[in-house]
Amino acid sequence: MNKVIGTGVNRKDGRAKVMGTATYAAEHQIPGLVHGYLITATIANGQIKSINTTAVEKAPGVINVFTHKNAPKVFTPSNDFRTSKIYEARLPLSDDKVYYAGQIIGLVVADTFERARDAAHLVKVEYATQKPIVDAKAATFKESPAQMGEELKFEKGDFAAGVASATAKIEASYKTATELNAPMEPHATIAHWQDSDSLTVYEPSQWVLGTQRTYAELFGLPSERVRIVTPFLGGAFGSKAFPWPHGILCAAAARQLGRPLKVVLSRRQMTANTGHRSETEQTIRLGATADGSLTAIEHEVKSYTSPVDVFTEPCTGITPVMYTAPNLRLKQELAVLNIGTPTFMRAPGENPGMWALESAMDELAWALKIDPVELRLKNETKEHQRKGQPFSAKHFADCLRVGAEQFGWKDRPKQPRSLTRDGKLIGWGMAAATFPGLRGAATVKIRLLPDGTAHLLTAGNDMGTGAYTVVAGTAAEALGLSVEKIRVDMGDSLLPDGGIAGGSMMTASLVPAVMSACQQVLKTADAKTAQEAFVTLRQSKRAAIEATASSAPGAEGQKWAFQSWGAHFCEVSVDEEIGRLRVTRWVSVMDIGRVINAKTAASQVRGGVIMGIGHALMEECQFDPNIGYPVVYDLATYHFPAHADIPRIQVAFVGEPDLNFNPAGVRGVGEIGITGVSAAIANAIYHATGKRIRDLPITPDKLL
Catalytic residues, by residue number, are 671
Residue 46 or 238: which CB sits closer to ligand MOS? 238
Residues with Cβ within 8 Å of 80's Cβ and at least 6 positions away in sequence, in order, are none
Q: What is the bridge-based pairing of β-strands 327-336 and 261-264?
A: unpaired
User: Whole-number minimum distance, CB 81 to ligand MOS, in Å?
Assistant: 12
CA distance 626 to 296: 42
**Rounded Cα–Cα distance for residues 704 and 687 (Å):** 15
Contact 242, 225 (CB under 8 A): no
Minimal distance in Å, beta carbon 80 to ligand MOS? 17
Report the distance separating Cα 288 and Cα 271, nearest Å.
Answer: 43
Half-sphere exposure of 422 (CA within 13 A, CB side): 5
CB of 150 to ligand MOS, least distance (A): 14
165 DSSP assignment: T
In DSSP terms, which residues pair with 623 in a beta bridge?
A: 630
Using CA atoms, how far residue 548 sits from 458, 505, 536, 589, in Å, is 10, 20, 19, 36
* Residue in 134, 129, 53 with CA at minimum distance from that of residue 98: 129
Cα dihedral across residues 22, 86, 341, 153: positive or negative: negative
Closest approach of Cβ 438 to ligand MOS, in Å?
9
User: Following CA atoms 398, 399, 405, 411 in sequence, which dihedral angle do they give, to the nearest 10 degrees?
Assistant: -120
Per DSSP (E only), the strands in 395-540 are 420-421, 424-436, 442-448, 454-458, 486-490
Residue closer to ligand MOS, measured from CB, 344 or 560: 344
Q: Closest distance between ligand MOS and the C-beta of residue 499, in Å?
A: 12
CB of 106 to ligand MOS, least distance (A): 30
Q: Mind spelling out the 3-state secondary structure of 93-118?
A: CCCCEECCCCCEEEEEEECCHHHHHH
C-beta of 375 vs 672, nearer to ligand MOS: 672
ω into residue 697 within 30 of 0, thus cis? yes
Question: What residue number has its CB nearest to ligand MOS?
Answer: 238
- Taking the complex as a whole, the smallest distance from the CB of residue 346 to ligand MOS amounts, in Å, to 5
Instruction: Report the b/e string of 58-73 with b at 16+ CB within 10 A.
Output: ebebbbbbbbbeebbe
Cβ density class 331-356: b for 16+ within 10 Å, e for less:
bbbbbbbbbbbbbbbbbbbbbbbbbb
Cα angle 210, 502, 480; round to 5: 95
Q: Is the dihedral of CA 467, 473, 477, 478 positive or negative?
A: positive
8 Å CB contact between 578 and 703: no
CB nearer ligand MOS, residue 212 or residue 604: 604
Q: At closest approach, how far in Å is the CB of 610 from ligand MOS?
A: 16
Minimum distance of ligand MOS from residue 241's CB (angstroms): 6
Contacting residues toward ligand MOS, per CB under 6 A:
206, 236-238, 344-346, 348, 502-503
DSSP reduced 3-state for 625: coil
3-state secondary structure of 127: strand
Please identify, using beta-carbon distances, which residue of 200 and 603 lies nearer to ligand MOS: 603
- Whole-angstrom Cα distance, residue 219 to residue 203? 16
Q: By C-beta, is 372 or 498 nearer to ligand MOS? A: 498
Let me know if 154 is exposed, middle or buried by CB neighbors in 10 A (0-12, 13-18, 19+).
middle
Secondary structure letter of residue 685 according to DSSP: H
Q: How far is the CB of 607 from ligand MOS (least distance, A)?
A: 13
Contacts 24+ apart (CB under 8 A), 421-426: 421/573, 422/573, 423/575, 424/573, 424/574, 424/575, 425/573, 425/574, 425/575, 425/576, 425/688, 425/689, 426/571, 426/572, 426/573, 426/574, 426/584, 426/688
**DSSP SS3 for 227:** strand
> From the CB of 174, what's the least distance to ligand MOS, in Å?
21
Find the shortest distance in angstroms from Cβ 459 to ligand MOS. Answer: 16
Shortest CA distance to 45 belongs to which of 90, 3, 98, 89?
98
Q: Are 680 and 408 in contact (CB under 8 A)?
A: no
Query: Smaller CB distance to ligand MOS: residue 270 or 518?
Result: 270
SS3 228: strand
Instruction: Report the C-alpha gap between 323 and 684 in whole angstroms.
Output: 21
Q: Which ranges of 11-146 does DSSP label H, i.e. alpha helix?
A: 14-19, 54-58, 113-120
Name the 3-class secondary structure at 71. coil
Q: Which is nearer to ligand MOS, 146 or 148 (CB)?
A: 148
- Closer residue to ligand MOS (CB): 295 or 504: 504
Compare residues 593 and 670 and give the one whose CB is closer to ligand MOS: 670
Which CB atom, from 332 or from 504, has the smaller least distance to ligand MOS?
Answer: 504
Closer residue to ligand MOS, CB minimum distance, 181 or 338 = 181
Q: Which is nearer to ligand MOS, 206 or 493 (CB)?
A: 206
Q: Show Cβ contacts of residue 31 under 8 Å, excluding neighbours closer than 6 positions.
A: 260
Task: Tell the smallest beta-carbon distance from residue 148 to ligand MOS (Å).
Answer: 11
